[in-house]
């Protein structure tokens, strides 16, 4: 499907003012049409462009509580872990600005809970500082859920390794029962 419009979008580059307007539209809310227009015109290759403050459209939408815009940007391929110039991720911005629905969406999409900003704070630490129990609860539950999934994955891998080892032992068992002598390794400096 190589339509002229599609080909044109890959060759065209947005101006600085168009990028700033795109990021501003994401923050403004009720302006998804402008966000869609920008992405349709220039393609998702420019979805991570930053405004004059170093923020992407996703970062501004998460900070301003624009749930529909956040969904749209994630569907179009926005980087959920992209950091701004201050080392903050979209999850941190949504947490700091107390947008629980966006925090829940970012967690559902797999946002990294362990990411730290330059001050060493994770989103959970930020939530506790901002005294937002609803968001703190969301982050704690997700942390626990991920820890349980990881523990289960480790348990399953350990069980598989134990089964594989038992099979290996069973494969060598007949040889062990026949008293086949084990050759000693040759040591340097000594005759065999």
Q: Is residue 57 part of a domain?
A: yes
| Planar angle of CA 120, 123, 124, nearest 5 degrees | 100
Identify the CATH number of the domain in which residue 131 sits.
Answer: 1.25.40.20
Q: Is residue 184 part of a domain?
A: no
Q: Is residue 192 part of a domain?
A: no
pLDDT greater than 50 at residue 7: no
Q: Is residue 42 part of a domain?
A: yes
Check residue 174 and give its pLDDT: 61
User: What are 73's two structure tokens?
Assistant: 């940007």
**What is the distance between the alpha carbons of residues 192 and 184, in angstroms, rounded to a whole number?**
8
% of the chain beyond a pLDDT of 90: 42
Listed in sequence order, the residues at least 6 apart from 103 whose beta carbon sits closer than 8 Å to its beta carbon are 91, 94, 95, 123, 135, 138, 139
If you average pLDDT over residues 144-172, what whole number do you get?
A: 86
pLDDT greater than 80 at residue 180: no
Domain count within the chain? 1
Q: Is residue 178 part of a domain?
A: no
Check residue 179 and give its pLDDT: 60
pTM: 0.71
Domain of residue 72: give its range: 4-142
The number of angstroms, rounded, from the C-alpha of 181 to the middle of its chain's C-alpha atoms is: 55
| Planar angle of CA 13, 14, 20, nearest 5 degrees | 155
| Planar angle of CA 116, 67, 52, nearest 5 degrees | 60
The confidence band for 84, taking pLDDT boundaries of 50, 70 and 90, is confident
Q: State the angle between helix axes of 133-177 and 100-108 in degrees (0 to 180), rounded to the nearest 10.
A: 20
Q: Is residue 47 part of a domain?
A: yes
Model confidence over 128-154: pLDDT tens digits? 998 889 999 999 999 999 889 889 999
Q: Is residue 93 part of a domain?
A: yes
Q: Is residue 17 part of a domain?
A: yes
2-16, 20-34, 50-64: segment of lowest average pLDDT: 2-16
């Amino acid at each position: 499907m190589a339509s002229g419009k599609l080909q044109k979008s890959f060759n065209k580059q947005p101006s600085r003012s168009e990028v700033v307007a795109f990021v501003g539209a994401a923050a403004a809310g009720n302006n998804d049409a402008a966000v869609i227009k920008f992405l349709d015109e220039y393609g998702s290759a420019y979805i991570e462009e930053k405004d004059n403050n170093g923020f992407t459209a996703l970062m501004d939408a998460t900070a301003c509580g624009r749930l529909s815009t956040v969904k749209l940007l994630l569907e179009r391929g926005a980087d959920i872990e992209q950091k701004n110039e201050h080392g903050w991720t979209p999850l941190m911005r949504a947490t700091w600005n107390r947008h629980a629905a966006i925090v829940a969406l970012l967690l559902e999409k797999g946002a990294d809970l362990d990411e730290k900003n330059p001050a060493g704070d994770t989103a959970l630490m930020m939530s506790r500082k901002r005294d937002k129990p609803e968001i703190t609860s969301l982050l704690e539950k997700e942390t626990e859920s991920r820890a349980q999934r990881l523990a289960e994955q480790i348990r399953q891998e350990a069980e598989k390794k134990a089964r594989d080892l038992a099979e290996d032992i069973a494969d060598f068992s007949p040889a062990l029962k026949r008293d086949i002598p084990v050759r000693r390794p040759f040591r340097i400096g000594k005759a065999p």
